[in-house]
Amino acid sequence: MSRIIGSPLRYIQGPNEIENIFNDIADWGKNFLFILDKPVAQKVQPKIITAFEKGNAKIKDKKDQHEIKFENFNGESSMVEIDRLAKIAAASKCDVIIAVGGGKCADAVKAAAYKAKTVCIIFSTAASCDAPCSHSAIIYKENHEFDQYYYPVKSPEMVIVDSKIIAEAPVRLLKAGLGDALSTYFEARSAYATNREVTEWKGHPSITGLALAELCYKTILKDGFKACVACENKVVTEALENVIEANTYLSTIGFESGGLGAAHSIQDALSLIPEIHACYHGEKVAFGTICHLVLENASVAELNKVLAFCVSVDLPVCLKDLHVEKLDKELLNKVAEKATGPGVPMGNMPFKVTPDKVSAAIIVADKLGTYFKEHGCIPGDDDSCCCDCGCDCCEC
């Protein structure tokens, strides 16, 4: 089996990087089409125009100057929107299409660039998920339910992240990114144990993917809370830079070169529940990660560590946190069926997962998360947990 590692050709991150966008991308072509996420359009478009005016001013021959066009992203990474953007890209005869925004904007533009056969660059304005650096895209239906995974043959040529813009964005976006990044190590660990072809590139999980997934996990545990404090106060710190890199880059290489698993399969299936549509991808993944650990029968110590982290950064640990007061059996069964259906990452788990097992894992994860929020610790007799609760369940 082949080991395959996928990644963007170049990753750039730093404060006020939008001011350098001309220098960052000018070598990729002459005609650029920017797809702007509506929440950031008014803020970023003038800065992009200014950067290109300054860059073009240094080019004496006008025929060598660069042209830019703008189009707004409609908000959902659906095939309808992807086809619309691909047609606009083709009609504009652009050399490069650039997504400026969050994860759904990035996913839609990656797919549109593939259809239009243009260079794809992602300028990320939110560290809310690992979409910017991945070659794959999560496609939703127009009603916001999960539709499918879409796989262009290549990663974006370049990913640029402005940490100052992210620091000034709502902290909930950063927290959602932490939820998405949280699953990376556990899913890669499970996929590696399968000893078969499981990665997004149809290869065996690489030791690089597994190692970067573990580094991602260690980084967000070490700096996640501090990064959220920085973002709440709209300042850039070393902890925030570390977490942005973990959420955006490490998490991507971890899952694309390591493999997905139960956490993302359950996240996708949770989209069947209308109340959850208001939640971000990473918020659903955080709860999916707890379900993943329940399926694995992870140690109490590991569950306590993950639950403590989630609570510290306001990530969902139970269904109520996802706005679901009561999940009836019929809908739960539909979620479980979808989470174990054909073509989903659940098949990357090192053991067979049935709908009944998923239903049970969701129920138990919900109860464990609720218990942890009330008591601060899940009792058990294995290795020491991460808390300072003083209980008899650990050695702390």
Q: In this structure, are residues 105 and 174 in contact, taking their beta carbons and an 8 Å threshold? A: no
Average confidence (pLDDT) over 63-69: 94
The pLDDT of residue 199 is 81
Residue matched to tokens 């932490």: 178
Q: Is the confidence at residue 391, as pLDDT, over 70?
A: no
SS (H, E, C) 28-62: HCCEEEEEEEHHHHHHHHHHHHHHHHHHHHCCCCH
The pLDDT of residue 394 is 45
Closest CA to 250 of 224, 225, 232, 268: 224
Tokens read off for 77: 């990474």
Long-range contacts of residues 235-241, Cβ cutoff 8 Å, at least 24 apart: 235/167, 236/15, 236/163, 236/164, 236/167, 240/163, 240/166, 240/167, 240/174, 241/13, 241/163
- Tell me the sheet residues that pair with 148: 139
The pLDDT of residue 153 is 85
- CA-CA distance, 379 to 382, in Å (whole number)? 9
Percent above pLDDT 90 for the chain: 83
Average confidence (pLDDT) over 234-259: 96
Q: Is the confidence at residue 200, as pLDDT, over 80?
A: no
- CA-CA distance, 82 to 229, in Å (whole number)? 36
Q: Helical H runs in the chain?
A: 21-25, 38-57, 79-92, 103-116, 163-168, 171-194, 207-232, 238-245, 251-256, 262-269, 281-296, 300-312, 329-339, 355-375
Distance of CA 90 to the CA centre of its chain: 28
The pLDDT of residue 195 is 84
Q: In this structure, are residues 263 and 289 in contact, taking their beta carbons and an 8 Å threshold? A: yes
The pLDDT of residue 197 is 87
The rounded mean pLDDT for the chain is 93
Q: Which domains are delineated in the chain?
A: 10-168 (3.40.50.1970), 171-375 (1.20.1090.10)
Which residues touch 146 (CB under 8 Å, ≥6 apart)?
138, 139, 140, 268, 269, 271, 272, 338
Query: How many residues are recorded in the chain?
Result: 396
User: Hey, is 20 helix, strand or coil?
Assistant: helix
For 271-312, write each residue's pLDDT tens digit.
Answer: 999 999 999 999 999 999 999 999 999 999 999 999 999 999
Tokens read off for 42: 């008014």
Q: Is the confidence at residue 392, as pLDDT, over 80?
A: no
The pLDDT of residue 381 is 65
End-to-end CA distance of the chain: 43
The pLDDT of residue 393 is 46
- Comparing 62 with 164, the larger pLDDT belongs to 164
**AA letter at 134:** S
Question: 165-204 burial string, b = 16+ CB within 10 Å, else e?
Answer: bbbebebbbbbbbbbbbbbbbbbbbbbbbbeebbbbbebb
Residue matched to tokens 């369940």: 393
- Comparing 394 with 114, the larger pLDDT belongs to 114
The pLDDT of residue 201 is 79
For 122-160, write each residue's pLDDT tens digit.
Answer: 999 989 888 899 998 989 998 888 888 888 888 999 999
**Cα angle 73, 180, 84; round to 5:** 20
Q: Is the confidence at residue 370, as pLDDT, over 80?
A: yes
pTM for this one? Answer: 0.90
For 204-224, write each residue's pLDDT tens digit.
Answer: 999 999 999 999 999 999 999
Q: In this structure, are residues 393 and 385 in contact, taking their beta carbons and an 8 Å threshold? A: yes
The pLDDT of residue 129 is 81
- CA-CA distance, 256 to 393, in Å (whole number)? 37
Question: 63-94 burial string, b = 16+ CB within 10 Å, else e?
Answer: eebbebebbebbbbbbbebbebbbebbeebeb
- CA-CA distance, 317 to 392, in Å (whole number)? 23
For 325-345, write each residue's pLDDT tens digit.
Answer: 988 999 999 999 999 999 899
Lowest-confidence pick of 102-111, 309-318, 375-384: 375-384
For 85-111, write each residue's pLDDT tens digit.
Answer: 999 999 999 999 999 999 999 999 999
Q: Is the confidence at residue 385, as pLDDT, over 50?
A: no
Confidence grade of residue 380 (pLDDT, cut at 50, 70, 90): confident
- CA-CA distance, 39 to 32, in Å (whole number)? 21
Average confidence (pLDDT) over 238-266: 96
The pLDDT of residue 144 is 85
For 9-36, write each residue's pLDDT tens digit.
Answer: 999 999 999 999 999 999 999 999 999 9
